[in-house]
Structure 1
Amino acid sequence: MSSKPASPIIPSRRRAALGALSAVSAFSLVGCGGGGSDSSTSSSTSAVLSGLSLSVGTLSPAFASATTSYTTTVAYATTSITLTPTLADSSATVTVNGTTVSSGATSSSYALSVGDNTFTIVTTKSGSSTSYTLTVKRVAATVSADASLSALSISTGSLAPAFAAATTSYAVTVANSISSVTLTPTATNSGATISVNSTAVTSGVASGAQALNVGNNTLTVTVVAADTVTSRSYTVTVVRSVASATVSGDATLSALAISSGSLSPAFASGTVAYTATVANSVSSVTLTPTATDSGATITVNSSTVASGSASGALSLSVGSNTLSVVVSAQDGTHIITYTVAVTRAAAVSTDASLSALALSAGTLSPVFAAATLSYTASVANSVSSLTLTPSASASSATIKVNGSSTSSGAASSALSLAVGSNTLSVVVTAQDGSTTRTYTVIVTRAAASVSSDATLSALTISSGTLSPTFASATTSYTVSVANSVASVTLTPTITSSGATIKVNSATVSSGSASASLALNVGSNTLSVVVTAADGATTKTYTVTATRAAASSCSVVPEETAGPYPADGSTASNHTYNVLALSGIVRADIRSTIGSSTQVGGVPMTLNITLQNVNNSCAPLTDYAIYIWHCTRDGLYSVYNENSVSTNYLRGVQATDSNGVVSFTTIFPGCYLGRMPHIHIEVYPSLAKATTAANKVKTTQLAFPTDICTTVYSTASGYTSSLSNFNSITFATDNVFSDGYSLEMTSLSGSVANGYVANVTISIAV
């Protein structure tokens, strides 16, 4: 402490006597201890502290009654402290720096100076006392090393560039009439000191007048930080213009150009400091200075250069390069120095390597090394995706993981893993944009445990309703359908993804409809066999479908074959005949015979049942049915191409024992003036189905308007059909206007999954 509370004035001899007595008492306290019956010993041991605590800091050593000297250290921010002494004997008294304090009570607050502060705690009883000392050291404030300016201004003119604390070189041009200036520097840290041209200046206050010669004048502002060691110098080059009448003293430039890059700011005679930036590929530049006065001489980096001519090549290092242009006036006295700070960019990196590569699951093999490009890793089947975290060796490189940009050191987006081998690629592109390196990681995802689940999770039928309602554990169902339903499809869905399905011995994909299953009148047993992923466990579901008997049947109307039959008859001034072609007997009519290219459109399966009205609607077996129809654009093969060799959407088949034929085709389009339809010709046999002269029936099939609207408005490629369909009705159609009930098809399905069309036609034979 720098001061202590005043003590009462005591004559010197009395002070000495009291001091000796105090020393004896202290000796008795420390040396004799306690525990005897002697009254003087008992009273002296009572004049001690049983405790001492501080408002801040920790006593060293820990308090003990017999220890009388302590220290503690506190931070610079701690400006005061209080003490709490506790007496061993409540009848004793205690003072802190001469001021009485109650036992166990907090003293008044004592100010702390930087450095050591000493406190004396004295306990007294019956003339005996004990003195304790406490030294509190308050540490000094941290001394600032900031030697920067926060502001710098000049009394005349403007600094170029504008002031910034990190910029230490400035220039300013003043008129010849300005013979002196002042600078006003302001330190960032209040503890720093400032001098201008070696003369001390107060922060934020103008310097003394700085005399200016004509030409360049360098003013130096030196800042010394509070630590008295760190310093920074700012220079201001003040160019005082020559007198207008003194032509021979003109040391200015009228122009200055650089061979690469651009001067900043744009050249002006009075501006003497410039910067320029060039690419790394530029290893040297030239400067072309032009003097205002033809009598002046110029040197560039100390080499003489003729006014208006380029200097020699000036080598550039990577980074900042200061080039100087010194102009000496004709009078030999006035000199102005122009500077150009040229920054040459660093070389573009060609480093396309990784410094690290990590997986969110699994372990790379081998351990990652920048030069190793191929890795493998294995993960459990439960891991369906993972991320890669690549880190580029060069911060300027870019990274793509499986084609998607990924930041260096960041995880990629989740990468899906199939069971088995998965190749993941990391492509690193260097800063130069052309150098690349590809790292590959082949991740093997283990197969799932083989399932023995052979159940279905769903089973639906295209017509009718299963009874009972489907449940995985129920394996037997019944369904009833009308006589007009000549076939159905079943759509089974497996519970376990590894299982396989067969419907009536034909393999069917889970969730997909089976092929059409023909129905006889009466009972029909349909079977769905599910084989589990283990290849051994099976379960069979049966559907007994009962098709009602026909109550009666009527002869389907005779209709025109239209202009495009290609059946050997004369139509549209041609006698094309596809019935004579090898291969015309076929189920799938979506392509030209011998071609694998199919016409576009919504897939459709057409099931036609042929009956004999003269035999109680019995099915007609081995009769031939020829069908043809237009594309989704409303065009017919053969006639559209004027060639019988292009014969898509035409085909012939013989009826089976149930009188049924099935064709695979597309939903027909609609052309202007007609409702959508399919043409049919019936022949007594395949052998007779070679020319129209042998046919026994010609008719057409119609389609429900709601299905037509759905297909034409939502399916791709049917745009023109929708427009044509909106302008026609059954009532205005020249074929169906007299009735179409016996020609209407029954459809099930969707645009996404395709349709199944069923129709029964009856003829009299």
Structure 2
Amino acid sequence: MSYNLTNGKLPTASSFVFPYVPSRTTDGAITAPQDRWLTTTLPAALMVDLQSIYYVNRWVVSNLGATGWPTTYNTQGYSLQCSLDGQNWSTVDTVSNNAASATDRSFSPVLARFVRLYIASNSGMSIHPMYASIARFEVWGDLSTSGYLTSLTISAGALTPTFSKTTYAYSSTVGFNVASTTVTAVLEDTNAQLKINGVGAVSGQPSNAIPLAVGNNTITIQVTPQTGPVQNYTITIARPDSTKLTSLTARDNLNNPISLKPSFDSNTTFYNVCIPQDSTATVLNITPVKEGVNATIGVNGTAVTSGTPWPVTIPAVGGSVSVPFKVTAPQVTDTTYTVNVAKATSAYLQSVTGIPGVNFVKTTYDYTTSITTTKVKATVIPEDTSATIEVTINGTSVPYTQRLIYTPNTGLNELMIKVTSSFGGDSKTYAFHITKS
């Protein structure tokens, strides 16, 4: 349905003669001969702000003949001009050599917020070519017809710039872990047709999930109004590649799993690996697994295949070697995961004497014995005199000295001795279960 969009709006004019002010052309029906706008200065323009953007397709001009004046007072020529910003104008239709008391003309729909009636020099009344007077100025359009959106959002993040219905291109950047997005577009005219990436969509409801490849992804939003041109919006979503690892594991050449410390986390980039001092393994195989699609892994410039073990010669006792796994990808900052491989010094006890019933062997870690003495006098000597030794008796930590003297309780007593090597972090724990009768 078409409406008179200028009706009730407050127009302005380049000039007028009081009391024939511009508002008389849009204030309702013609009621008297003085109900008109008059200018004695040409060229002149009568402008109306429609206060929103519409598709206009018809204009009506009532001259003085429509108010009862002779037809010689009708304006001879005028044009309809349209603008979106009130500054840049385009001529839509022109009436020339007019003698009629009213003109009513239609044209192909034009998008406009501002409309104006423009009268050129010497185009006024035939009786006074430099005077012009208009009784009624009407511009018609379909209020329900719009090719605009009122809102546009994505589930993956925010749009840049902030949404405006007359801004058609947007961008956003997501993380590598964002593999898809939905788009929600809200139509200004619910009778318009909406398509997202060529697939029909419902105004105000999320689209189907749209996969996001690594790189730039362009999503199109097409609005087809009932009247007027199709409006096309685009969103370009950048999904950068990743320079992180999803896994980093180690096994020695005897196929024993070797723990990383701390446990692997893709955001942690430094790890220690300790090979026990008595291990006979000679090679540690470290396997990195990349996350990025186009990412590459290298160690000191040599390519490493994701998921394939990288061999590292295990150093001698007390030695260490650092292995930098550098992960690179186009247009993304490199990430380097460093694994420090060390061969531990001894974490064994060399001897434990003085505990009745205990025949100590350094590779045996659990002992049970019974005593009748009132005190235990144990001599504890590590193989590596620089090792760290922690002693607990019945759950209570006590200072370590080579000569441990304590009074056991009646019943079961627990003596725990933990030895941590001075280099590499290997540790052994010896448990002595001593029952006093």
Classify the TM-score, shorter chain. Answer: 0.3 to 0.5
TM-score, length basis structure 2: 0.35
TM-score, length basis structure 1: 0.22
Higher strand share: 2
Higher helix share: 1
